[in-house]
Amino acid sequence: MRQKLGQFLRRTDRRSAGPTDISGWGPASDLPVAGERRKGERRQLGLSRIARLFQDVPEQALMEALDQCDIVEYPQASVLLERGAVNRHVYILLAGEMTLDLGTEESPHPVALTRGQSVGEMSIADGSSVSARVTAQAGSRILIIDEDAIWQRLMVLPGVARNLLAIQAERIRRSNDLFIEKLRGEMAFAQLKRDLTMAAEIQINMLPRSFPLYPDRREFDLYATMLPAREVGGDFYDAFMVDRDHLFFIVGDVSGKGVAAALFMARAMTLFRVEAAQSRAPHRILARVNEELAENNDRCMFVTVICGLLDVRTGDMTYSNAGHGAPLLGNAEGFRYVEVPPGMAIGLMPDSEFASMQCRLAPGEAFLLYTDGVTEAADEAEQEYSEPRLLEELCRIGVGDPQQTVTRLCESVAAFSGGAPQSDDITVLAVRFLSR
């Protein structure tokens, strides 16, 4: 429905004591201005009170200037302005709702405008194209002022130009604030990325990366890798000689991800190196590290671990487990899962007990450890790689050079996952006994 403002004013003149009474525009729920009763008399409110553009402008002069402007009631949602279009009107919401959609990262969702708010002034003032999509919702009543009325009749009224400048200044300040806030966020994000990159470099540098670890030793060969799901991961591995004849190796998976997990990982690795230098029993090493990690562990973080001690002279190996998945033993006949002793993850209960088991590696046999990032890697259909697939793939790869075994296994996991994002850290360690 389209009518002129003057028609509403003339109709209102017959009902009210003055030309500024616009209470006759429709049902009370749709009134552009809500009448208030004070001491039995209706208080008259006009456009100069509800529209920021006309604030404090003399009401009589304003009504005369707007006499021929259209008031449109929309029966359904309608687009008033489209981004990039040329605009020739100012739209003032009298009743209902208009939404403004900038379509930017800073303002991704439409903003509802309230009664008295206006749109279109900026593009009218500077002649630029429209920067936002504006939609009138069904049942909205909107005063539409063309640019000729703006420049020829409204700008000559006291206060209109000042109000227009105030509206534009406020929007510019708001835009500046959003820009500054975004810039600060980008700077903070860039700093966070630098910090995470540095933390990732520190973490990676804690892990042995130069293989072979002991080029002069012919009794064994070892290779390991860790592929973090984020900049900083919670998985770790380590391997080092505790004396001339014994190799200690370990794979662990810290609960959680990110910096907190990396810090817990760093502490665990340090403790394992300290304790492994003092004991030749993996279960005692686990007990001591568990006791240290459980102390002051207010965040209840924990780490699953499997570790072993290999006598490089004989192939005799002792290994222990703390809530970790079973390792695999490989030889010329293929791979098989190895039984592990019971034991809960370390870091939670200071008095937890652990046990060790023994086996003897024959020349050419390999012992492979991994984290659940391997078996729980998922494809785009959310199917997991799984333990049976791991066993099948290792049997296909066969026992050979540890670096080749680990690399081909990781390639198999990546191929299985396809385009699915990596959800967990992936760590694999293989040690092969060569001779007695």
Report the distance separating Cα 86 and Cα 157, nearest Å.
26
The string of pLDDT tens digits covering residues 324-378 is 999 999 999 999 999 999 899 999 999 899 999 999 999 999 999 999 999 999 9
Residues 114 and 212 placed together within one structural domain of the fold: no
The string of pLDDT tens digits covering residues 29-71 is 333 332 232 222 223 336 767 777 888 788 788 887 887 788 8
Residues 308 and 406 placed together within one structural domain of the fold: yes
What pTM does this model have? Answer: 0.61
Residues 50 and 171 placed together within one structural domain of the fold: yes
Report the distance separating Cα 134 and Cα 142, nearest Å.
12
pLDDT at 299: 84
pLDDT at 223: 97
Residues 50 and 119 placed together within one structural domain of the fold: yes
Q: Quickly state the pLDDT bin for 170 (edges 50, 70, 90).
A: confident
Of 115-119, 205-209, 300-304, which has the strongest mean pLDDT? 300-304
pLDDT at 15: 34
Domain assignment present for 10: yes
Residues 291 and 411 placed together within one structural domain of the fold: yes
pLDDT at 45: 39
Domain assignment present for 199: no
Residues 260 and 163 placed together within one structural domain of the fold: no
Q: 213 or 39, which is more confident?
A: 213
Residues 166 and 224 placed together within one structural domain of the fold: no
Residue ranges making up the domain that contains 138: 2-177
Residues 158 and 250 placed together within one structural domain of the fold: no
**CA-based Rg of the chain, rounded to a whole angstrom?**
37
Phi-psi label, residue 321: left if phi above 0, alpha if psi -120 to 50, beta otherwise: beta
Domain assignment present for 202: no
Residues 152 and 251 placed together within one structural domain of the fold: no
Q: 263 or 197, which is more confident?
A: 263
Task: For residue 72, give the CATH number of its domain.
Answer: 2.60.120.10
Residues 218-233: what's their mean pLDDT? Answer: 86
Q: How many residues does the chain have?
A: 436
Q: 399 or 52, which is more confident?
A: 399
Task: Give the H or E element holding residue 345.
Answer: none
Residues 263 and 126 placed together within one structural domain of the fold: no
Domain assignment present for 334: yes
Domain assignment present for 189: no
Cross-sheet strand order for the sheet of 246-254: 235-241, 246-254, 303-311, 316-322, 356-360
Other C-beta atoms closer than 10 Å to the C-beta of 140 total: 26
pLDDT at 36: 31
Share of the chain above pLDDT 90, in %: 41
Beta bridge partners of 227: 426
Residues 211 and 166 placed together within one structural domain of the fold: no
Residues 136-147: what's their mean pLDDT? Answer: 88
pLDDT at 107: 61
Domain assignment present for 191: no
Task: For residue 386, give the CATH number of its domain.
Answer: 3.60.40.10
pLDDT at 106: 58
Report the distance separating Cα 397 and Cα 169, nearest Å.
69
The string of pLDDT tens digits covering residues 249-291 is 999 998 877 777 778 888 899 999 999 999 989 999 999 999 9
List phi, psi (to 5°) of 320: -140, 160
Report the distance separating Cα 11 and Cα 8, nearest Å.
5
H helix count then E strand count, the chain: 11, 21
Residues 167-177: what's their mean pLDDT? Answer: 74
Task: Give the H or E element holding residue 191.
Answer: helix 160-206
The string of pLDDT tens digits covering residues 66-97 is 877 888 888 889 999 998 889 889 898 888 89
Residues 89 and 224 placed together within one structural domain of the fold: no
Q: Quickly state the pLDDT bin for 151 (edges 50, 70, 90).
A: confident
Of 152-156, 202-206, 213-217, 310-314, which has the strongest mean pLDDT? 310-314
**The total number of structural domains that make up the chain:** 2
Residues 159-166: what's their mean pLDDT? Answer: 78
Would you say 345 and 355 are in contact if contact means Cβ atoms under 8 Å apart? no
Position 28 pLDDT exceeds 60: no
